[in-house]
Structure 1
Amino acid sequence: MRHDLSITTPDGTCPATLHTPEGSGPWPGVILFPDAGGARPTMAEMADHLAGMGYAVLLPDVYYRHGDWAPFDMKTAFSDEAERARLFSMLKSLTNEMVVADTEAFIEALHARPEVTDGPIGTTGYCMGGRISLTVAGHLGDKIGAAASFHGGGLADPDNPNSPHLRADKITATVYVAGAENDNSYTPEQAELLEQALTDAGVPHTLEFYPALHGFAVPDNPTYDPEAQKRHWAALEQLYATTLR
């Protein structure tokens, strides 16, 4: 089932959809952070799938500050010069402070719903959303019980003072990261740095690389890989079953 929500944040009102299984619940809450293409039908279908695994899944419009923005066609979003510029402009407009403040509002909204159990929230994210997933885990402590990132970029950038790995010691969630092979946004060197940071901080974690391209889990991406997506669902199922239930 889908429920349309309007969530009040420090910067305005964020449209979102809550996706729940059939029945009365309640279920553990999960936030699905979209990739750079933002909330759209493909992401809603993924939220439906995750809800079917037994979770109340919130899909927020992370670009709500841009008003009624025109949806991206992910088949051409990176090849069309104007659309690529628009996408990167919107992506880069999101600061750590914004996504953390938004997520606090999202968690409050989830816990106010009768469909959602008390306790820590799970997060998952794709591309841009994968970085957001780890970022909020490093800022919100025990509010986040499990944080997953799939083909996320910039997770351990030694040149970025806002890189998620720098707050590994603030993470209390269990972390799962699946990178794409030959992805310049998340390289084996970044994975090594992230591994060291999480290990030093005592964070339970699993870091893997899938034999697939960046964007492998999202069906409307040209690089979509059905086998990699299936593997990602299995990883999420295991992660949440051992942390949120």
Structure 2
Amino acid sequence: MTAVRGTTVDVPTQDGSADAYFAYPDDGAAHPAVLLYMDAFGLRPQLRTMADRLAGAGYTVLVPNVFHRHGRAPVFALPEFISDADRPALFEQIVPVAGGLTGDVVARDAAAYLDWLAARPEAADGPVGVSGYCLGARLALLTAGAHPERVAAAAGFHGAGLATDAPDSPHLLADRITAEVYFGHADQDPSMPPEQIERLDKALTEAGVRHHSDVYAGADHGYTMADTDRFDAEAAELHWTVLLDLFGRTL
């Protein structure tokens, strides 16, 4: 693994400054850029660790605090280890804030993040990859649909509500996507039931999007996050394998 440099940065958006974590190989070269979207618990040490691992594999990675309108990270007071007992009180705070991330807001912020990356000397010219977790999987799909000319690969892991009956469901942007897309679902995840997985795959297939999805057996929603009790080491390592394969093919 390459030596990595990581730092906190501020990214200007149309709605104020977004704090973010920025990680890149410490070799003076430009590397393919990746936008990494956090889960609902927010930008914290676990996300920085994941960004560092991706940077160590040869990518320049930006992890924005997507809740920046509500303050700098951590927006919510989190325990070092998030248990099921912690979740109800946390989600009482998180759900209203996450609800403000409409499709228009996400597209606008994504443009700012992509512009910022494009201007960085650490980021190579050309299209970027996007990876998202939980809430971030929705943001990854929306970003690929809103900025098809800029996103070559999009991946989502234990995503929630990606293909609902709502008029603004992310899967409805499938016909705008030009990226190669991957989803790693969890079979113990009630927020992305089999009928939604089927609806998402059908929309991507009908739109001619290169895509693949897996359902990780025995995995819970949140299986990539080592600072929660939903972590599944085997599923998390599989996620790294498929993510690096996707970015290696496309970026």
| TM-score (normalised: structure 2) | 0.93
Q: Which residue of 1 aligns with 2:211?
A: 205
Alignment: residue pair count:
243
Structure 2 residues not aligned, in runs of 5+: none
Give the counterpart of 1:29 among 29, 33, 42.
Answer: 33
Matches within 5 A, 1:57-206: 57-68=61-72, 69-73=75-79, 75-76=82-83, 79=86, 81-157=88-164, 159-206=165-212
Counterpart for residue 232 of structure 2: 225
Residues of 2 paired with 1:43 and 1:81: CA distance? 21
Deviations, residues 13-41 of structure 1 (Å, cap 9, x unaligned): 00112101120120000011000001001
Distance (Å, rounded) in 1 between the aligned partners of 2:130 and 2:15: 21
Match of 1:9 among 10, 13, 18: 13
Paired with 1:134 and 1:80, the residues of 2 have a C-alpha distance of 25
User: For 1:73-129, what per-residue CA distance to the aligned partner results, in whole angstroms no more than 9, with x for missing partners?
Assistant: 361476454332002122222211111111100010001000101111100010000
Select the residue among 23, 29, 45 that pairs with 2:49: 45
What are structure 1's unaligned runs of at least 5 residues?
none
RMSD: 1.4
Aligned-pair identity in percent equals 42
SS at match of 1:39: coil
- Provide the C-alpha distance between the structure 2 equivalents of 1:126 and 1:112, rounded to a whole number of angstroms: 25
Aligned amino acid, residue 134 of structure 1: L
* Preserved contact between residue 84 and residue 229 of structure 2 (Cα < 8 Å): no
Q: Flag as ranges the 4+ runs of structure 1 deviating above 3 A.
A: 76-82
Name 1:238's counterpart in structure 2: 245
Q: Which amino acid aligns with 2:110?
A: T
Q: TM-score, normalised by structure 1?
A: 0.95
